[in-house]
Amino acid sequence: MIISFSVENWRSFREQATLSMVAGREKQHSERLPVMPGYGMKLLPVATIYGGNASGKTNLFMAISFARHLIITGTQPEALIPVEPFRLDPSCAAQPSLFRFELLIGDKCYDFSFAVTRKRVVEERLVEILKTTEKMLYDRKGDKIEFSPALKDNMFLQFAFQGTRENQLFLTNAVNQKVDTFRPIYDWFKNQLVLIAPDSRFEPFERFIQEDHPLYGTMNTMLSLLDTGIEHLGGEDMPFENIPFPDVLKAKVQAELLEGTTVRLSAEPMNERYLITRQGGELKAKKLVCFHRDINGKEIKFDIQIESDGTQRSIDLLPAFLEMARPQNAKVYIIDELDRSLHTLLTRRLLEGFLAACDKDCRSQLLFTTHDVLLMDQNLLRREEMWVTERDQEGNSTLFSFSEYKDVRNDKDVRKSYLQGRLGGVPRILMGSLCNTAPHGSSAEETP
């Protein structure tokens, strides 16, 4: 789980901004707060992030995405690090960008941070947070590194650091060199952190079209309850050589897909989706389709690309919500523009379903950006679970939660105050000036 995330000098965030998932003392919805045994604190299972257009919501999402990519994929030799410092202040260009995560992994807490420029890793630090103190595991500054007393005599760690490029995180190289000491942190970013952008989908959704999947029936039931008109999903078998992809891509799949594994391919611009699996040495292809019932009760097959945008978005997101609500699930889901193409009541039902499954033993988290003010309701969310990004006159984004306002009581209509601009995070639209920009001899609004 994420305890907190901080970012500085990244895109629109010039100053350090911190998203904290530590629960405060308020009693509202306290029954669904995950408890951290031995640490004397509770965490929030959800964070909603509001803000006007270009206020920094997506930049926060992209900061986490960048950090994950740098940790998991890393960089090529002599390549520049694709970091994006704040551009509206020339002095920031040469300054490092900082990323810091406080994480609960299993029953242990870690503080992992790094600062990078386009050319090199300036700092990198990993700390294990104990119940009463902290234990530094390693602290890298430029070309030097200091290990904890328990690790400093490990010659292989020293060897691994000597082989770490200046544009590469030591965590990444150490795991690549089969150092298991730091693998839990690496594996958390790789396996437990799930990022879903507005134009992407939950990666494992294809498993839910297999009839032997434990959530296959639930997925189809939910699609029906959400009034999509879909009876069930399915996979239409077709020869691999007939799928509409370039020969170069087919050759790549033929050469690289391992036995018993599956890859998803999407054919643009029609958004046709295919699953390619190697079984018994042969490549087998399935095309994702939907089934509806006609007026006579007969099943009619539909290609997914002719479904509405909202239905396709529901198909993309439902597996994520079903999985995050499963007991023992410990993944963190971060969704940019959760409400894109979804009816506001549907978005609320999805969120209510997730929150209903949360309790003190829950280890799932959901963080998402949205413009849907219907969710801005204290009957649904705690004040500290509602966050706002706001951009100042210098283009710098700030991040704050409603719990920082002392006058926001438990019975306050935060939605009304937000829309009136009392809580920040709304666009500063100069409507008078906008109307005055109409060409001479015309008006912004004409009457017949």
Q: Is residue 22 part of a domain?
A: yes
In a domain, 441, yes or no: no
Per-residue pLDDT at 118 = 97
Determine, yes or no, domain membership for 258.
Answer: yes
Find which of 94-98, 206-210, 259-263, 275-279 is predicted with most confidence, using mean pLDDT: 94-98
Q: Which residue segment(s) compose the domain that 34 sits in?
A: 2-195+330-419
Torsions phi, psi for 368 (to 5 deg): -150, 155
pLDDT tens for 361-386 read 999 999 999 999 999 999 999 999 99
Q: Domain holding 184: CATH number?
A: 3.40.50
The pTM score is 0.86
Q: Domains in the chain: how many in total?
A: 2
pLDDT tens digits for 225-242? 788 888 888 888 889 988
Are residue 338 and residue 290 in the same domain, yes or no?
Answer: no
In a shared domain, residues 248 and 384: no
User: Is residue 320, in this structure, part of any structural domain at all?
Assistant: no
Query: Which residues 6+ apart lie within 8 Å of 204 measured at CB?
Result: 319, 323
Burial of 225 (0-12, 13-18, 19+ CB in 10 A): exposed
pLDDT tens-digit series, residues 89-102 = 999 999 999 999 99
CA torsion through residues 155, 157, 160, 162, sign: negative
Residue of higher predicted confidence among 405 and 238: 238
Beta strands in 239-364 (DSSP E): 262-267, 272-279, 282-293, 299-303, 332-335
On whether residue 216 sits in a domain, the answer given is no
Residue 247 shares a structural domain with residue 334: no
